[in-house]
Amino acid sequence: MTDELASYEKVGKEFGNHHTVNHAADEYVRLGGFVHVNTAECRFSLMKRAVFGTHHSISEAHLPRYLAEWDFKFNTRAITDGERAALVAKDIDGKRLTYRPTNEATHA
């Protein structure tokens, strides 16, 4: 779902179920199919806030890591911090945190 910006028309053709709302005509939601852009706008707002408020700048080399972090935070926004921490802890069980893969033979 997008607003009526002309540059979104080409992007929308890639999706079989693309809808638009017309902000210029004061249309912000269409209840028949529940069409709105609030979720996308909220998601981008949170990403911008993370860059300006927390990270201050991001590198292209690590962009997938930033996006994964923001996806996780957005997708778990309805649970408590404790529940979110438990999810993270469950996923790291048995893993070693390194920046680069280590060569275990040289460290033995």
Give me the DSSP letters along 35-53: EESHHHHHHHHHHHHHIII
Interaxial angle between packed helices 38-50 and 63-75, expressed in degrees from 0 to 180 and rounded to the nearest 10: 130
The pLDDT assigned to 83 comes to 95
The domain ranges of the chain are 2-36, 39-92
Average pLDDT for the chain: 77
Cβ contact 32:21 at 8 Å: no
The pLDDT assigned to 2 comes to 62
Q: Could you identify the residue written with the tokens 């004061």? A: 26
Of 55, 77, 76, 75, the C-alpha closest to 66 is 55
Q: Give the predicted TM-score (pTM) of the model.
A: 0.55
Mean pLDDT within 19-31 = 74
Q: Give per-residue pLDDT as tens, 78-100.
A: 999 999 999 988 878 888 877 77
